[in-house]
Amino acid sequence: MSPIIRRPHGFTARSTGAAALVCVLVGIAGSARDALAGRHTHPAARTSIELKGLDPDDQALWQRLCFRVQDAFDSTYGGFVTRQGVVSESAIDLAFLLGRREGQQRWRGCGVYTVQWMLGLEDSVGGGFYRRREVVAGQGQFDRPTVTNARRLENLIDAWEATNDSRYWVSAVRLLEFAERNVVDGRGGFTSNPVGDQDLVPEANGVAIHAWLRWWAAGRDPRRRDFAFRSIDRVWETAWRESVGFVRTDAFGELLSSPKLADQTEMGRALVLSAQLGGRPQDLDRARRVADCMLSRFLDERGAFRTETPLHSSRFRRPGHDARENARAALFLSELGHVAHEPRYIEAARRTWHAFAKSLEKSKVDNADWALAMDAAIAPVFPKRPPEGARPVDHSRSPRSTGKSRLPAPETKIGAETNR
């Protein structure tokens, strides 16, 4: 047969084979897509998320915030962890908060998964957890600040209570011992870092005191409860100024900077928890004074809080607004409003998240702080106070069983296999 006759038949055969191969590949891709769609079940679980008590607009906003935080969970990076390796402690808090509610066990699984990954950041020699921070773009450094370690202590407490796994309890005990060796001041208070200046920063002390009180509730440890109370009294005596709020000072009492919103917020939350959990009415009065100072000196006409307030007015320096710090401020006001039975604080918190409503659509994991604040506006969750005379938990081991957790496995991103 001549080549002129063979060529059409060869072309037809090749075309037929290529078409068949394409059909096979399309079929395989469709099957894989269907399998992945069946495994990735986040959208089905979303319909059950509800926070009763909010008006319809706020309810829709709260749901969107939770959905975006849920979308930020990526098992390939460790859970609620950014691609730069930074853990979101607030997202873990939200996961455990929602995971306690009926039908939301997958949230709890996501929180446990992230805390399990976080254990790899612990310094097995010196103690404490490392945090990665970007000094220059693409060049990170690691440190162990008090704020980060105190937030992660609360994450460990939540993980232990959710799973009965002694790993989290033992890690929390090691973290407490690290803090007492490196950042605890025997007179009361915490330094902001194991190295460097040893000044008492109100923000770091507020977060640490809050964590110490949580530990008292979980471990029935009166010694650390008493230290938390002593720290509150010392920070109030050294850093509170009636006219401007909490300030940062050096060892000689000289001001180091303008009053900052984060100092008011974190110390305020510690005071509220001390009043609610420890039964100290003087701390509730102090928390009211902190909130009133915030509303009079830090609040602008839009309902948002400035990050700091200058001691002297100036046309050339206008403090900015930080979304995360405003979310923490709204959380403090919501908690105080319920404990003090004063709705005006809750209304101030509501105005704050309305002021940032448009910008919240652009972020994911950072929305966890706002979701926590809106949740607290309805009914904040505080730990139960240990009974008087309760026997402290043995710190050498977990008081609970060490059996495997029965939590459902967290969802993974489509196309990602973790093998964990």
Same domain, yes or no: 212 and 315: yes
195 found inside a domain: yes
Output 229 or 404, whichever has higher pLDDT. Answer: 229
DSSP state of 393: P
Buried/exposed 360-377: b ≥16 CB within 10 Å, e otherwise? beebbbbbbbbbbbbbbb
Question: What is the number of structural domains in the chain?
Answer: 2
Q: Residue 241 phi/psi, 5° resolution? A: -125, 125
pLDDT (0 to 100) of residue 313: 62
Selection from 85, 73, 62, 153 nearest residue 111 by Cα: 73
Residue 24 Cα to chain centre, angstroms: 47
Taking only the tens place, the pLDDT of each residue in 262-286 is 999 999 999 999 999 999 999 999 9
Query: Does residue 317 share a domain with residue 174?
Result: no
Are residues 265 and 210 in contact, defined by beta-carbon separation less than 8 angstroms? no
Residues 84 and 210 in one domain: no
Q: Grade residue 3 by pLDDT with cuts at 50, 70 and 90.
A: very low
Residues sharing a CB contact under 8 Å with residue 242, sequence separation 6 or more, in sequence order: 289
Domain identity same for 221 and 301: yes
Together in a domain, 253 and 130: no
**Is 66 contained in some domain?**
no
CB 202 within 8 A of CB 235: yes
Q: What is the pLDDT of residues 186-206, one digit of tens each?
A: 999 999 988 877 889 999 999
Residue 47 located in a structural domain: no
User: In this structure, are 222 and 162 located in the same domain?
Assistant: no
Residues 283 and 308 in one domain: yes
pLDDT(30) > 70: no
**Closest Cα to residue 280, out of 239, 322, 339, 330?**
339
Check if the beta carbon of residue 186 is closer than 8 Å to that of residue 200. Answer: no
Quote the pLDDT of residue 320.
87
Other C-beta atoms within 10 Å of 70: how many?
Answer: 24
Same domain, residue pair 215 and 326 = yes
The alpha carbon torsion through 214, 215, 216, 217 (nearest 10 deg) reads 50
Residue 45 falls inside a structural domain: no
DSSP state of 408: P
- CB-based burial, 290-310: b 16+ in 10 Å, e otherwise: bbebbeebbbeeebbbbebbe
Does residue 353 surpass a pLDDT of 90? Answer: yes
What is the pLDDT confidence band of residue 414, given thresholds at 50, 70 and 90?
very low
Residues 171 and 195 in one domain: no
Q: 210-223 burial, b if ≥16 CB within 10 A, otherwise e?
A: bbbbbbbbbbbbee
CA 380 distance to own-chain centroid: 15
Instruction: Determine the residue type at 368.
Output: A
172: buried, middle or exposed (CB in 10 Å: 19+, 13-18, 0-12)? buried
Note the pLDDT of residue 408.
47
SS3 357: coil
Concatenating the DSSP letter of every residue in 242-269 gives TTTEE--B-TTS-B-SS-BHHHHHHHHH
Q: Residue 292's domain spans which residues? A: 186-386
Cα–Cα distance measured from residue 100 to residue 152, given in angstroms and rounded to the nearest whole number:
19
Q: What is the DSSP letter of 299?
A: B
- Alpha carbons 377 and 372: distance in angstroms, whole number: 9
Q: Considering the domain boundaries, does residue 22 fall inside one?
A: no
- CATH (domain of 206): 1.50.10.10
Condensed to tens digits (0 to 9), the pLDDT of residues 284-320 reads 999 999 999 999 999 999 999 999 987 666 555 667 8
Domain-embedded: residue 53: no
Residue 134 is assigned to a structural domain of this protein: yes
Whether residues 199 and 176 fall in one domain: no
Instruction: Name the band, by pLDDT with cuts 50, 70 and 90, for residue 92.
Output: very high
Out of 80-84, 228-232, 314-318, the most confident range is: 228-232
- Give yes or no: residues 285 and 372 share one domain: yes
> pLDDT-derived band of residue 323, with 50, 70 and 90 as boundaries?
very high
Residues 241 and 368 in one domain: yes
Assess contact for 91 and 112: CB atoms under 8 A. no
Predicted pLDDT of residue 358: 84
Structural domain includes residue 20: no
